[in-house]
Structure 1
Amino acid sequence: MKRILIVDDDPVHLKLTSGILNKADFEPVTAASGEKALEILAKDPAIAGVVLDLVMPGLDGFGVLEAMRRETMRQPVIVQTAKSSPDIVVSAMRAGAADYVVKPVDPERLVTSLNNMLRMSALSTALEIERTRREGRFGFNEIITQSPAMKRVIELGRKAAGSTIPVLIEGESGAGKEMIARAIQGEGDRARKPFVTVNCGAIPAELIESTLFGHVKGAFTGADSNHKGKFAEAHGGTLFLDEIGELPAAAQVKLLRALQDGEIEPVGSDTTRTVNVRVISATNRRLLNLAASGAFREDLYYRLNVFPIYLPPLRDRREDIGLLIDHFIARLAAEENRRIDGCTPEARNMLARYDWPGNIRQLQNAVYRAIVLTNGTRLVPEDFPQLLNALDGPAAVRAAAERAPAPGAPVHIDAAQPAASVSPAAISETDMRDRFTRDDGTVAPLVDIERDLIAFALDQHDGKMAAVARALGIGRSTLYRKLKEYGLDNPNEDAA
């Protein structure tokens, strides 16, 4: 459930807007002043959007927008105005607002605007992250997280970015080790420089040295030309050695020399070449245990493990699951040209309960598959059949399949029957009853009809007296008099 901050100095409007958002499956957070709003935004990174009143005592809406821009708070904002003056609207948009609504707020207009704003914000964030990654500017501000477990990771990563110290990132597969490595480069002196990735576990042992250090023509069968290798490709930038624990013993010796001396020797060559490369390594196993068992050189371990960073798995930072779901839906739905407005609360709760052994990579693939499978505009638990089966068993999957509407059996064109007609005699007396008649069929008195109409209008407009009076075409004083005359109670009068 997405948290929306409502900022308004009018307690009645705060109450009414909160009720609208509650019904639309949002979690409202309220602030009665601009100062309180900025305080909440600074402390609560889970705020997904803001509904902001422009006219407030003290720090008004324009002041809040300016402060948000100055502090690089990226939450999208819908402003509320009492008058739809073009000058005010244009000024609010220039100050950073994404949309505006006019008081009194129409519930459907506000909810539609919020959904569109959040969807566009998520897509914009996803595009910006991809752009910064390709340009080598990806930093820790682009990491999607609000988990306390990740604060220590980001703190260590920023310290590592200010140095050339060798970094070892340990964590399970799919947890985002390469993302941390890119952020370290993106916030350091080597930003926009080459970032070269090598998966040490995916390269055959006989080719690992050539891949890392290059080779000269004729060094071995098939070496038809010179190859400079990954170290040379990363010259001036960063070399990311993923799954370093899978590196063969022979290559470990040459890697140790390259790290110590800053020199590489291509296969088949008798000359060395100096390279300026920052090495960040990663592993999904404890490198210390591998060194203790003799599977990894101890001296190389100490050379790599100068600045260790442990990246917790996704199950230990469940606060990030909702944010990642929104990010993946925005990006992947755009790639698939599908309009997906998000997940239902039931689907979010189910995804939050799962342990995600494959971590972020598995979550991304699950969301991708659900986007392709779904027939609606919101993902539901039935769109994740494998997870539903793992959590609640096959019975839950069968029940979900039974609830889903199934197409009827095909009917041959020769067997098609005309639509059944209903004779007037078949219509019961109950079906013919009108709202202007009594149970006995006689016309109801005008007093009863008026009383029922006012009660209906109260329910339709959630007890908002101004809206009820406008809908009925009478004054508020007249409306109050008739409420008293007919003994009608306004359900929202106490709350207001």
Structure 2
Amino acid sequence: MTVYNSAKGGAQILVVEDDPIQRRLLKNAIERHGHVAHLAENGRLGLEFLKRGNDQINVIVLDLMMPEMNGIEFLGALNDMGIDLPVIVQTGQGGIDTVVQAMRAGAFDFVVKPVSPERIAASIANALKLDQREAKARAGRKSRSSSITFDDIVSASPAMMRVIDLAHRAAQSNIPVVLEGESGVGKELVARAIQAASDRAGKPFVTVNCGAIPHNLVESILFGHEKGAFTGAAERHVGKFMEADGGTLFLDEIGDLPLEVQVKLLRAVQQGEIETVGARVAQKVNVRLISATNKDLIEEVKAGRFREDLYYRLNVFPITMPALRRRKEDIPHLARAFADRFALEQKLDHSLGISNDALALLTAYDWPGNIRQLENAVFRAVVLSEGPELLDTDFPQIAAQLPGYFAAEHPTLVVDNSHASSAELLAAERSERASYGGAHGSTATTPLASVDTSAGASDNVIVSTNTSGDVRKLADVEEELIRFALKFYRGQMSQVARKLGIGRSTLYRKLKDYGIDPDDPQKNAA
């Protein structure tokens, strides 16, 4: 079978896939979005097609597991031929190691089989934007105060595409929305996009961080106060609700709102009116409410810290935003976007790329600080960069938190701990206390030779018998080992699963079975 192409029109996409059913599905998905599909049943035929006329191809969709020549070998051959095209690799349900290998070899993006038509179309669209320098420059010049739309949100992963779809639907009405997710996942960005896509576009968008306001001032800041309403109220103050009148009020960290203020908020939501502190009559307001929280609000209700009636009023349209470690497909796109933006902001005289090794490193890391941490890490790398692209050596804090991962390529960058004892590793780990790397400080590493191994030896013992002298239950020993591994590898789930010799899905199931919170190292140390 030879390479062939479909009807003319759109971008030119080369599909290299050995499975005829997958080829047909990809061809249909590509043509459905107006592109031209060129099909090759293996890597050798794909390379032959490129040798005959690679100038017509815009994007390559590549399967990693193929006979004759696998995807990694195909990427290597492209590099040898000097062909610089964005390549989207397809992977099975394998681990992050395969993805990292593909990114190192030059892949632009990766998708997990079975891939939906929408996902492959989004990935192709992102690849086609790669060389649109004018559009990037315009985006970089966009004012911070400019309206943020859904087009400004990176949504290559299926999980994030689902978020965008739900947010689009929410924008078509005034339904109250609650954005759930860890800190730094981009909840405010989605809230602003909802506002921009709604009939309130162009109206005020007012943000209130409920967790950052002193409790005695929350009511005044939200609802305002009259002159003389309390000691120190020398002037009348217009609250955030009135500032947002006609537009949207974004209540960030709503779970931190004091109970006494929640009563007034409930009235504002139910009746569309607020009580200004010191005023005799209530005032009508027309506000679209979007709330955000990094807490489990239903658990807050059970604990008596959040009003149940307010919860059901606000939680009409919940949207759960995934942590960055759950949407690794987005990491390369986010990193490139941040590098472009910061290069413009720093007024560099050249565009700034990111090397394949750097993208592999960033994709391998689990980013406990989410997008905000990634943004800070790229910002630091851009400020310190000296060449035309960011290298993996520009992210030393990130590399230091992936023990031994890149030691073979950069022996001076990461401590090689493969021959160290467990007690030595545990003691060395104690000297590295930075939680975010680039986001919240640097990671200090202590040479293993200088570590006092006696200090941590007793903490590295899992007792095999109980107080009665009987052998402990296997489940108890397993739970203790998992807790130790989580603490030892600082919550890096890929690393924990790999070192324990189990799959990530198995690890997450065991965490659920044992009631272990992977994001709470203090509990894991117990």
TM superposition score category, shorter chain reference: 0.5 to 0.7
Of 381, 402, 421, 2:392 maps to: 381
Structure 2 counterparts to residues 115-194 of structure 1, below 5 A: 117-127=131-141, 130-131=142-143, 134-136=145-147, 138-194=148-204
Structure 2 counterparts to residues 13-412 of structure 1, below 5 A: 13-15=52-54, 23=82, 26-28=85-87, 43-47=120-124, 75=128, 117-127=131-141, 130-131=142-143, 134-136=145-147, 138-338=148-348, 339-392=350-403, 396=407, 399-400=412-413
Unaligned runs of 5+ in 2: 1-10, 15-35, 39-47, 58-76, 89-116, 416-526
- State how far apart, in whole Å, the 2-side matches of 1:152 and 1:8 are: 26
> In the superposition, relative to structure 1, how do residues 42 and 298 fare at CA in structure 2: closer, same or farther (>3 Å)?
closer
Q: Deviations 1:50-78 (Å, cap 9, x if unpaired)?
A: 8xxxxxxxxxxxxxxxxxxxxxxxx35xx
Say how many residue pairs are matched: 325
- Secondary structure of residue in 1 paired with 2:245: coil
Check the 8 A contact 2:119/2:157 in 1, yes or no: no
Check the 8 A contact 2:119/2:156 in 1, yes or no: no
Q: Deviations 1:242-282 (Å, cap 9, x if unpaired)?
A: 00000011111111111111111111111211000011000
Check the 8 A contact 1:205/1:248 in 2, yes or no: yes
> In the superposition, relative to structure 1, how do residues 333 and 393 fare at CA in structure 2: closer, same or farther (>3 Å)?
same
- Which AA in structure 1 matches 2:337? H
The offset of 1:149, in angstroms, is 0.6
Q: What is the RMSD computed on CA atoms of the aligned residues?
A: 3.2
Q: Deviations 1:443-487 (Å, cap 9, x if unpaired)?
A: xxxxxxxxxxxxxxxxxxxxxxxxxxxxxxxxxxxxxxxxxxxxx
- State how far apart, in whole Å, the 2-side matches of 1:310 and 1:158 are: 14
Q: Deviations 1:364-422 (Å, cap 9, x if unpaired)?
A: 000000111222121111111110100135994761499xxxxxxxxxxxxxxxxxxxx
Check the 8 A contact 1:45/1:146 in 2, yes or no: yes
Check the 8 A contact 2:180/2:293 in 1, yes or no: yes
- State how far apart, in whole Å, the 2-side matches of 1:377 and 1:272 are: 60
- State how far apart, in whole Å, the 2-side matches of 1:301 and 1:41 are: 34
Check the 8 A contact 2:13/2:37 in 1, yes or no: no
- State how far apart, in whole Å, the 2-side matches of 1:120 and 1:23 are: 25
The offset of 1:340, in angstroms, is 4.4
Check the 8 A contact 2:248/2:288 in 1, yes or no: yes
The offset of 1:150, in angstroms, is 1.4
- State how far apart, in whole Å, the 1-side matches of 2:37 and 2:190 are: 39
Check the 8 A contact 1:264/1:273 in 2, yes or no: yes
Identity of aligned residues (%): 50
- State how far apart, in whole Å, the 2-side matches of 1:283 and 1:342 are: 35
Aligned to 2:60: none
- Which AA in structure 1 matches 2:137? L
- State how far apart, in whole Å, the 1-side matches of 2:192 and 2:216 are: 28
- Which AA in structure 1 matches 2:355? T
> In the superposition, relative to structure 1, how do residues 272 and 163 fare at CA in structure 2: closer, same or farther (>3 Å)?
same
- State how far apart, in whole Å, the 2-side matches of 1:154 and 1:49 are: 16
- Secondary structure of residue in 1 paired with 2:319: strand
Unaligned runs of 5+ in 1: 30-39, 51-74, 77-113, 403-496
- Which AA in structure 1 matches 2:250? F
- State how far apart, in whole Å, the 2-side matches of 1:395 and 1:20 are: 24
> In the superposition, relative to structure 1, how do residues 24 and 211 fare at CA in structure 2: closer, same or farther (>3 Å)?
farther
Aligned to 1:481: none
